Amino acid sequence: MNSTCGPVLAADGTPLKKSLARALRMQKLRALMLVAPLMLFIVITFLAPIADMLFRSVENAIVADTLPETIQKLSEWDPTRDQAPEEAVFETLYIDVFFAAEEKKHTRLGTRLNYELTGISSLFRKSGRRIGRFPTDIYAEQFISQDSRLSDPMFWVRMMNDPRIVRSLPLTARTWTRWTHYLRGEGDDPSMEDVENVFYAALFFDLRNSADGISEVLNNIDISNFESIDLGAEFEAIDEDWVNPSVWRTIYTYSPKYTSGYFLNAVDLQKGLDGPEVRPENQRIYLLLFQRTLVMSFVITVSCILLGYPVAWLLANLSTRTANLLLILVLLPFWTSLLVRTSAWKVMLQQQGVINDTLVWLGLIDDANRLIMINNQFGTIVAMTHILLPFMILPLYSVMQTIPPSYVHAAKSLGATNWTAFWRVYFPQTVPGIGAGSILVFILSIGYYITPEIVGGTTGTFISNRIAYHISSSLNWGLAAALGTILLAAVLILYWAYDKIIGMDNMKLGG
Amino acid sequence: MLVDNSQSDAFVEFERVQKSYDGEKLVVKDLNLSMPKGEFLTMLGPSGSGKTTCLMMLAGFETATHGDIRLDGTSINNIPPYKRGIGMVFQNYALFPHMTVAENLSFPLEVRKVGKSAREQKIKHALEMVEMHEFGARRPAQLSGGQQQRIALARALVFEPKLVLMDEPLGALDKQLREKMQFEITRLAHNLGITVVYVTHDQTEALTMSDRVAVFDDGYIQQIAPPDILYEEPGNSFVAQFIGENNTLEGVIKEIRDDYATVQLDNSELIDCKPVNVSRVGERTRVSIRPERVEYNKSRLHDNAQTIKADVLEVIYMGDIFRTRLRVAGNDEFIIKTRNAPDQDRLQSGLQIEIGWLADDCRALDA
């Protein structure tokens, strides 16, 4: 009978909470099943791609995957000294580029690094083409002349299955493993393929670097009198950029699997040796674009408030029938294509367009001095204000509808003039509507793409146009993803700020 | 129209006021009203009778289509609401939701440019007046309906208006709270000596609170009189029906003498009554008798009472009283009320009894 001690019990003796949870479980399950199709759809088609895209903004595995040996060796290099790396690095580069060319990954790597340093793309393309012509066959000849079994791929396969060999010839073993992986991927058998020069070179490097210079299995081989080649010079012969320290510095800087480089790039910085540094003036663009996007979105939002507020007020104070009719006019633009509306503005605003023609005909402007109203910021602001206006009017209208006229009546009866009654009593109650409309319009406009693309020219484009450029033209998806992530973060910060200042539960989007 | 006591010191005056919203139908037809300073006047009537429209015209939110409205001798037809200096309490209180209680009260003082210290003084006083001095910092949404009502009242009074209008201010409250507030509003109005125009459709409210009640119907004032007169001497059958419970017997005027008229009821019985707005013999009439003036207990019947036979149809137990439905002269809805007292004989349905009343309590009205 002591109800204060222990949990409250249901009639059958189970704790009431448990019994309640059981009763609600079925209900919850049913609710979950109702939303499940949509949730799955959104997760698969929307959230997963977005997550993947965001991941690309830091992902940088291609360098480490394509040049694993080089990266490892390069870690001993001192990038601060203005000098190309030593021969050992070029030896590993030879192996890596050989595989990259086989797997046809060298052009992709070149493209990736080209975002950071112009010219690397062609460097890798050229090297991939000419790597097969390196005179490394002399290693093959010298090894085979000492032990003819080395020309037999079956012998290599057996040799590389011997753990002692693998231990004593690490580079060769790693290179062979890469080879077998590659061949298996192609559906080939390593024991059937010719042994490439690269393995003889790797074998040579291993034997040369090992302490005694002699392997347990290949003890019949003596490389002390081997003729060797200068791979550094060979690479230099392809392109002298290979001995340019800045190329190596770029590879060195972008060798980790994850990089902040895209994000730094997105805010006009670059990865230097001692952390982020400002890009040269002629390469700065994104901060300007972000700033322009924010300022113009703000101007568009304010224009929407100024134009939409009176309309919403009128709608809220007319009889339901007239208001519905006018509401259809407000919603009418939604039934026309966005492209059509934007193109219509192009027709209206261009120099030979309707407005300019009218102004010239009225004699307000000279025919020679027609106003430039399109392909600049003005055009973007005008067209986007028009397109986004319904998103301001609707939340405002729905808020104003809920404000009974008795508030203004009360204010007036208390002695307030029309203006005071509006400003001190009516307007504060519409703030949630202004907030909801503003946040809608602002967020829609900072991500807007089509309209600025068509009417924006060069000065009226937004950051989204740049993102689209990187997605579809320059194919620098990492940078596009970084820009997109920053945009997303800006929107989330705005939401957060709105929630702090006005409160999300104050926002009224409808009803 | 029974409005003829047009005093020269009239504070609020409606003269031949008409109002139409659509240009086809008059909502207020020829309204004439005059009230002295300090009066508590209630406009009572069914919905659509024009009472709220009258109030809105007085407040300035509606303009009269025709006629003159005067406040303290000056025509206010063209004065905007904010210059009229009329306090108003709205049906839904209309407390500004984004302001605290104190800010709500401060609003009319601020727009009147009252200084800060004077403002605080007045707010404090007004809140004390409605016993809400601890609630200054609250928001209206944090108050109960009754508390909001008090704040609305305080706000309408804080700037000391000469006239206060109340538009069904107690409509949203429950019965108990409503009765309490009725009493408080009347007390405040009398203590402060303010003039009040009060609109309601609740006749009990009108009777208990007002100095005078104006009964509205169909755009006209049907009768304007103090509550007791209104109840006991209704001027026409609408007022008799609308105010309180009423028994109606239909018939034809047979004879009119000085003070009394003889009416032949539809079952040919003859009764005497006071003629009110009937003038000629042969005219159809409705005879009105209040249920509590009808007696069935022979020992209590007055010597001069006239009696009539009645069939008991239904006895409803209501605690303090019995409400008994009778058939009298063909009317099945004849109600009498009897106290639940030990010395009363209890009636039972099916009984045939004789009931009686004084000719003075029975009024011949228009049909």
pTM of the prediction?
Answer: 0.79
- What's the pLDDT at A5? 56
| Residues B227 and B249 occupy one common structural domain | no
Question: What is the torsional sign of CA A261, A267, A273, A274?
Answer: negative
| Residues A195 and A322 occupy one common structural domain | no
| Residues B215 and B272 occupy one common structural domain | no
- pLDDT band of residue A300 (cuts 50, 70, 90) is very high
Q: Which two tokens stand for residue A160?
A: 């590389």
Residues 82-111 of chain A whose Cβ lies under 8 A from any Cβ of chain B: none
pLDDT, tens digit, 9 for 90 and up, residues B71-95: 988 899 889 999 998 999 998 889 9
B111 touches chain A (CB under 8 A): yes
Strand B306-317's sheet: what is its strand order? B331-339, B321-328, B306-317, B352-357
Q: Which two tokens stand for residue A507?
A: 């926002």
pLDDT, tens digit, 9 for 90 and up, residues A349-388: 888 888 999 999 998 888 888 888 888 899 999 999 999 9
Q: How much is the average pLDDT of B257-277?
A: 86
Check whether A497 has a pLDDT greater than 90.
no
Distance to chain A for B172, nearest Cα, Å: 15
Last residue of a domain, which of A209, A233, A259?
A209
- What's the pLDDT at B1? 39
Check whether B253 has a pLDDT greater than 60.
yes
- Identify whether the C-beta of residue B76 lies closer than 8 Å to the C-beta of residue B84: yes
The DSSP code for B33 is: E
DSSP track, A270-305 = EEETTEEEEPPGGG--HHHHHHHHHHHHHHHHHHHH
Check whether A41 has a pLDDT greater than 50.
yes
Q: How much is the average pLDDT of B19-40?
A: 90
| Residues B253 and B222 occupy one common structural domain | no
| Residues B149 and B60 occupy one common structural domain | yes
- What's the pLDDT at A507? 61
Is residue A36 a part of any domain in this protein?
A: no
Residue A288: name the closest of A264, A260, A266 by CA.
Answer: A266
| Residues A203 and A326 occupy one common structural domain | no
Q: How much is the average pLDDT of B272-280?
A: 86
Helix or strand or coil: residue B84?
A: coil
Cβ partners under 8 Å of residue B256, min gap 6: B262, B275, B278, B279, B280, B281
| Residues B265 and B203 occupy one common structural domain | no
B82:A417 CB<8 A: yes
Q: Which two tokens stand for residue A227?
A: 């003729």
Spacing of C-alpha A510 from chain mean position = 34
Is residue A115 a part of any domain in this protein?
A: no
Q: Which residue has the tokens 């018939």?
A: B251
> Which one of A403, A413, A420 makes the best mutation probe of the B interface by having the most chain B beta carbons within 10 Å?
A413
Cβ partners under 8 Å of residue A502, min gap 6: A431, A432, A435
Q: Is B350 left (phi over 0), alpha (psi -120 to 50) or beta?
A: left
Over the range B215-239, which residues count as b (16 or more CB within 10 Å of their CB) and which as e?
bbbebbbbbbbebeebbeebbbbbb
Check whether B6 has a pLDDT greater than 50.
no
Give the number of domains in chain B: 2
- Identify whether the C-beta of residue A418 lies closer than 8 Å to the C-beta of residue A412: yes
Is residue A480 a part of any domain in this protein?
A: yes
The DSSP code for A118 is: T
| Residues B134 and B22 occupy one common structural domain | yes
Q: How much is the average pLDDT of B183-187?
A: 90
Q: Is A31 left (phi over 0), alpha (psi -120 to 50) or beta?
A: alpha
- What's the pLDDT at A262? 92
Check whether A271 has a pLDDT greater than 60.
yes
* Number of Cβ within a 10 Å radius of residue A47: 11
What residue numbers bound the domain in which A149 lies?
137-209
Q: Which residue has the tokens 């809400």?
A: B132
Check whether A417 has a pLDDT greater than 70.
yes
CATH value at residue A292: 1.10.3720.10
| Residues B233 and B249 occupy one common structural domain | no
A317 touches chain B (CB under 8 A): no
Check whether A274 has a pLDDT greater than 70.
yes
Chain A residue at shortest CA distance from B154: A414
Check whether A502 has a pLDDT greater than 60.
yes
B113 touches chain A (CB under 8 A): no
Last residue of a domain, which of A209, A228, A263?
A209
What residue numbers bound the domain in which B353 lies?
245-366
- pLDDT band of residue B158 (cuts 50, 70, 90) is very high
Separation CA B186–CA B211 (nearest Å): 10
Of B87, B94, B165, the CB nearest to A407: B94
Give the number of domains in chain A: 2
Is residue B291 a part of any domain in this protein?
A: yes
pLDDT, tens digit, 9 for 90 and up, residues B95-107: 999 999 999 999 9
Distance to chain A for B44, nearest Cα, Å: 21
| Residues B261 and B230 occupy one common structural domain | no
| Residues B205 and B266 occupy one common structural domain | no
- Identify whether the C-beta of residue B316 lies closer than 8 Å to the C-beta of residue B325: yes
Max distance between CA atoms of chain A, in angstroms, equals 112
- What's the pLDDT at A211? 62
Distance to chain B for A511, nearest Cα, Å: 19
> Which one of A317, A414, A420 makes the best mutation probe of the B interface by having the most chain B beta carbons within 10 Å?
A414
Separation CA B100–CA B137 (nearest Å): 6
Is residue A218 a part of any domain in this protein?
A: no
- pLDDT band of residue A167 (cuts 50, 70, 90) is confident
A416 touches chain B (CB under 8 A): yes
- pLDDT band of residue A162 (cuts 50, 70, 90) is confident
pLDDT, tens digit, 9 for 90 and up, residues A219-267: 777 787 888 889 999 999 999 899 999 999 999 989 999 988 899 999 9
| Residues A389 and A497 occupy one common structural domain | yes
CATH value at residue B207: 3.40.50.300
In percent, the amount of chain B with pLDDT more than 70 equals 98
Residues 418-457 of chain A whose Cβ lies under 8 A from any Cβ of chain B: 418, 420-421, 424-425, 428-429
The per-residue pLDDT of chain A, averaged, comes to 88
Separation CA A373–CA A102 (nearest Å): 55
Chain B residue at shortest CA distance from A409: B61
| Residues B122 and B228 occupy one common structural domain | yes
